[in-house]
């Protein structure tokens, strides 16, 4: 089979670009210490999650000066707790999990956006610098009443 000279050049160029791309991605991943998740220290049994601390008492608790931990539980078409009041300027460490199916946890207007998987505990930190009511929405389809799944964070 005869391959034209120009085709050979383009073929070699494409292979060289592929090798360069894989080398850059590989070196970047190892240099930055990226690795797949190992042990799942942040997991919980979804069937008994509402009986295990801290998810047996979801809500906001103070852990430092102007620093809070918000423990939330997602379930079919709702979140526990239904509402939370957060002081203005507070740093909130969210921890959230689901007890049934995959849910979403998004606060529009912020960079808070998580996929809530049953049995996996998600962690996210956010500082609330603006007062107001923040709507928390489920952005993963979770069933027939998905559009009704929301809660409110009140920052004052």
Six token digits for residue 39: 């042990």
- Exposure string over 11-40, b if 16+ CB within 10 A, otherwise e: eeeeeeeeeeeeeeeeeeeeeeeeeeeeee
CA distance 13 to 7: 10
Which residues are known to be catalytic?
75, 77
8 Å CB contact between 125 and 94 = yes
Spatial contact of 113 and 96, defined as CB atoms under 8 Å apart: no
CB 118 within 8 A of CB 85: no
Q: Select from 92, 98, 85 the least CA-distant residue to 149.
A: 98
């Amino acid at each position: 089979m005869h391959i034209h000279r120009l085709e050979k050049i383009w073929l070699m160029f494409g292979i060289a670009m592929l090798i360069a791309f894989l080398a850059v991605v590989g070196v970047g991943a190892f240099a930055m210490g990226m690795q797949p998740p190992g042990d799942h220290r942040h997991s919980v049994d979804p069937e008994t999650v509402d009986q295990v601390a801290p998810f047996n008492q979801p809500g906001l608790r103070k852990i430092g000066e102007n620093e809070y931990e918000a423990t939330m539980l997602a379930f079919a078409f709702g979140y526990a707790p239904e509402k939370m009041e957060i002081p203005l300027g507070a740093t909130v460490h969210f921890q959230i999990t689901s007890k049934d199916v995959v849910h979403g946890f998004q606060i529009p207007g912020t960079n808070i956006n998580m996929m809530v998987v049953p049995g996996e505990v998600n962690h996210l930190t956010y500082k609330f610098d603006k007062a107001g009511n923040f709507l928390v929405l489920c952005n993963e389809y979770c069933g027939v009443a998905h559009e009704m799944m929301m809660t409110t964070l009140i920052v004052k």
